[in-house]
Amino acid sequence: MMTNNYRLLQYSGPDGELSASTRYLSQRFSAYNPRVAGLLTDIGTEELAHFEMIGAIVRQLTKGLSAQELEAAGFAPYYIDHTAGIWPQAAGGIPFNACEFQSSGDAVADLVEDLAAEQKARKTYDNILRLVNDHDVADPIRFLREREIVHFQRFGEALRMVQEDLDSRNFYVFNPDFDCFGNK
């Protein structure tokens, strides 16, 4: 039974798994470096698996609850629209919106955003772990938190690859994915 109002954990929202997967899978198309494009594809695909894991956790927590139990857990407005169905929204109740992430076509800008996204996701998992005392929820959340740390490290490696491809030490002069004079 869902006794706390955790909403949909990391299912959606600006720091959630749906935003992450959509962000990375969109950015890969403009990544000129094939290794970076591959990394974005791999991590974006993994984030879809995380999206599925979170959906399964939420379903396990809400399956079989009555309308009264959902209301007591703070889910009355959600219940009105979705019963106990899983629907992408942030913990604060904001529905998923593609405006929550960016795909700019600039490798440096996108990778810096990706680094920040992974840190914010890790922070959100930290916050969830502070609230959850059920090991059946906490264990997979710990696993997902660890993956955010790995993704952060991989995006750092990708940013170094892009920076090494540039002729200049000033990475803010041009867009390496668009301005051909910036590439070796």
Using 50, 70 and 90 to split pLDDT, how confident is the model at 115? very high
The residue written with tokens 């916050």 in the block is: 127
Helices 34-62 and 17-27, axial angle in degrees (round to 10):
160
Give dist(CA 168, CA 36) in Å, integer: 19
In this model, does residue 176 exceed pLDDT 60?
A: yes
| Cβ pair 44, 149 in contact under 8 A | no
| Cβ pair 43, 26 in contact under 8 A | no
Q: Return the SS3 of 183.
A: strand
Structure token digits, residue 82: 């979705």
Using 50, 70 and 90 to split pLDDT, how confident is the model at 37? very high
Give dist(CA 117, CA 16) in Å, integer: 9
**Residue range 83-106: mean pLDDT, rounded:** 82
Residue bearing the bigger pLDDT, 139 or 11: 139
**Residue range 30-42: mean pLDDT, rounded:** 95
Amino acid letter, residue 164: E
Across all residues in the chain, what is the average pLDDT? 84
Using 50, 70 and 90 to split pLDDT, how confident is the model at 4? very low
Provide the whole-model pTM.
0.84
> 18-32, 86-100, 154-168: lowest mean pLDDT where?
86-100
What CATH superfamily is the domain 17-167? Answer: Ferritin, core subunit, four-helix bundle (1.20.1260.10)
| Cβ pair 29, 38 in contact under 8 A | no
Residue bearing the bigger pLDDT, 62 or 177: 62
Domain range annotation of the chain: 17-167
Q: pLDDT value at position 168? A: 60
Most confident of 6-20, 57-71, 87-101, 119-133: 119-133
Long-range contacts (CB closer than 8 Å, 24 or more residues apart) made by 32-36: 32/107, 32/176, 32/177, 32/183, 33/107, 33/158, 33/161, 33/162, 33/165, 35/158, 35/161, 36/107, 36/111, 36/158, 36/161, 36/162
Using 50, 70 and 90 to split pLDDT, how confident is the model at 155? very high
